[in-house]
Amino acid sequence: MDNLKNYEDYYKTLWQEFLFKIKDVDVKKCPEPHLPIYGEYYSKSEFKIAFVGIEAARSCDLEEYNSEDGYSKIIQDWKENDFDSLEYCNWAGQWNFWRFIFQFLGKFYNVDLEELKNHDSEHAQNILRSFVWANTNSIERYHITAEGKNVKYENWKKVKDASAIFDKAENILKTYKPKILLLLNWRNVPDGWFPEGIGEPEENDKPPLRYYYLKNSDTHLYWTKHPRALSTSIGYDVIIYEILQSIKSKNIFPTFPGQTPFELLEKFKKQTEQIAKELKLELHYDPNLGQADSCFYFFKQEWSFGIGFGFDNAWTCDFFGGVCRKDLDIAIPEKIINEIQNKFGMSQQPTRNWPYWFWVEEHRNWNQSTFEEIISGELVKKIKISVEEIMTKLSNNEL
């Protein structure tokens, strides 16, 4: 898509059909359709990404747009008032959907989240104007706003039924041709939204994620829960990590800024493998190394414990080390916890799986600080020193 006119031409026919269906409806205080909006940098971006949510809540001005050029006014109003002006950046502090988008963009472009939120730099502004925002439901559900404004249900229903013509993924695919389409809406996808012949997905139940390749448009569709649901279950980091890992492994882009963490984790693995070799220890990695609550540990077969290191969160995380259970599902007897704690004189509160632990460093920006130490080799030095100190203080029998 090269310019706004192409987009308006596409929606002109759809709008005429929509108007015809609601010509006898009292649309006062009814919601107007939310049509997909794009940033002015989208056409220039080499990474064409569209985010699709549920609905644009509290938009109830259909009477204002109930005209032949209403679609053009809607597009212009959203673009000028909210998108091109970056006014929507204020929503990142209010709505989970926009928090997720900011975190995804930060991870994908390997840019600090605060830089995006402040959007002072030209680089941040280009990123924030480089994507498409759409919803599966162009007309919001009745209870969101219309009911509270005393709109008759039958009037809302007629408008809602007429809007089905807008509620199709094909509209986004034909106008924007995104390379990646992120559907952030697990339960409120209307019938007919998915393109015909979509095929069977690749599925991942934990985290909840489905992947489709849309051959006709060369689009990669990732489908997961709405960020509101993600925020109360697995969080954003885990699902973003999975999507970015998939983007890299499927070679969707020849290269993208956010692949750096994955490359550096591979380098980090080789560095820790060298430590294990030098100290004549074995090494275990969680398969989700680098994600939240993942860890790796050094051990000998005869040990009950390992000398481990863990991550509180993916990327923006705290990194800690200590003595851990090799089988993290088995609680450590309190007597042993006390013995190990006394041996080290630790100040941190022990846990059922980590009777002794300490901060390697309390990193608040995993990308910039920890990865810089991986590149320089400083982090692996700290880890080796910590392992050697623990082995000195605890005998093989105690471990």
* DSSP string over 135-186: ES-SS--TTTTTGGGT--HHHHHHHHHHGGGG--HHHHHHHH--SEEEEE-S
What does the pLDDT look like over 23-64, one tens digit per residue?
999 999 999 999 999 998 998 999 999 999 999 887 788 999
The token duo for 343 is 């041996």
Task: Read off the pLDDT band of 132 (50, 70, 90).
Answer: very high
In the predicted model, what is the mean pLDDT of residues 343-353?
A: 79
Taking the C-alpha atoms of residue 81 and residue 88, their distance in angstroms, rounded to an integer, is: 9
What does the pLDDT look like over 89-131, one tens digit per residue?
888 878 999 999 999 999 999 888 889 989 999 999 999 999 9
Q: Are residues 303 and 229 in the same domain?
A: no
Residue numbers of the domain that contains 240:
4-255
Identify the CA nearest to 107 among candidates 240, 302, 253.
240
Identify the CA nearest to 292 among candidates 237, 244, 371.
237
Task: Read off the pLDDT band of 372 (50, 70, 90).
Answer: confident
- In angstroms and rounded to an integer, the radius of gyration of the C-alpha atoms of the chain is 26
pLDDT score, position 251: 95
CA distances to 81, 176, 364 from 125, in Å: 16, 20, 23
Across all residues in the chain, what is the average pLDDT? Answer: 88
In the predicted model, what is the mean pLDDT of residues 314-343?
A: 75
Other Cβ atoms within 10 Å of 114 Cβ, number: 10
pLDDT score, position 178: 96
For residue 116, what are the contacts with CB-CB under 8 A and spacing of at least 6? 102, 105, 106, 124, 127, 128
The verdict on residue 106 lying in a domain is: yes
- Residue where a domain stops, chosen among 229, 255, 281: 255
Q: Are residues 120 and 205 in the same domain?
A: yes
pLDDT score, position 365: 46
pLDDT score, position 3: 58
pLDDT score, position 32: 94
Identify the CA nearest to 67 among candidates 18, 1, 134.
18
Pick 6 or 70 by higher pLDDT: 70
Q: Are residues 214 and 276 in the same domain?
A: no
The verdict on residue 399 lying in a domain is: no
Percent of the chain with pLDDT over 70: 93
- Residue where a domain stops, chosen among 255, 280, 313: 255
Q: Are residues 265 and 222 in the same domain?
A: no
Write out the E strands in the chain: 37-38, 49-53, 131-135, 180-184, 202-204, 209-214, 219-224, 282-285, 295-299, 305-311, 319-325, 356-361
- Residue where a domain stops, chosen among 233, 255, 277: 255
**180 bridge partner residues:** 49, 220
pLDDT(314) > 60: no
The token duo for 364 is 């608040």
Please give the tally of structural domains in the chain.
2
The verdict on residue 398 lying in a domain is: no
The verdict on residue 83 lying in a domain is: yes
Task: Read off the pLDDT band of 329 (50, 70, 90).
Answer: low
The token duo for 213 is 């390749």
Task: Read off the pLDDT band of 158 (50, 70, 90).
Answer: very high
CATH code for the domain in which residue 167 is found: 3.40.470
Other Cβ atoms within 10 Å of 378 Cβ, number: 12
Task: Read off the pLDDT band of 327 (50, 70, 90).
Answer: confident
The verdict on residue 229 lying in a domain is: yes
Taking the C-alpha atoms of residue 176 and residue 179, their distance in angstroms, rounded to an integer, is: 9
Residue 40: Cβ-neighbour burial (10 angstroms; 0-12, 13-18, 19+): middle
Identify the CA nearest to 356 among candidates 308, 294, 289, 288.
308
Under 8 Å between Cβ of 210 and 201: yes
Taking the C-alpha atoms of residue 79 and residue 87, their distance in angstroms, rounded to an integer, is: 10
DSSP strand pairing (282-285 vs 295-299): antiparallel
Task: Read off the pLDDT band of 1 (50, 70, 90).
Answer: very low
pLDDT(242) > 70: yes
Which range is least confidently modeled, 137-146, 189-198, 345-354?
345-354
The token duo for 201 is 């997905």
pLDDT(297) > 50: yes
In the predicted model, what is the mean pLDDT of residues 55-81?
A: 88
Q: Are residues 330 and 181 in the same domain?
A: no
Q: Are residues 243 and 306 in the same domain?
A: no
pLDDT(367) > 60: no
What does the pLDDT look like over 180-239, one tens digit per residue?
999 999 988 999 999 988 989 998 777 899 999 999 999 999 999 999 998 887 778 888
Q: Are residues 43 and 147 in the same domain?
A: yes
Pick 377 or 51 by higher pLDDT: 51
Pick 314 or 294 by higher pLDDT: 294
Phi-psi region of 169 (alpha: psi -120 to 50; beta: other; left: phi over 0): alpha
The verdict on residue 291 lying in a domain is: yes
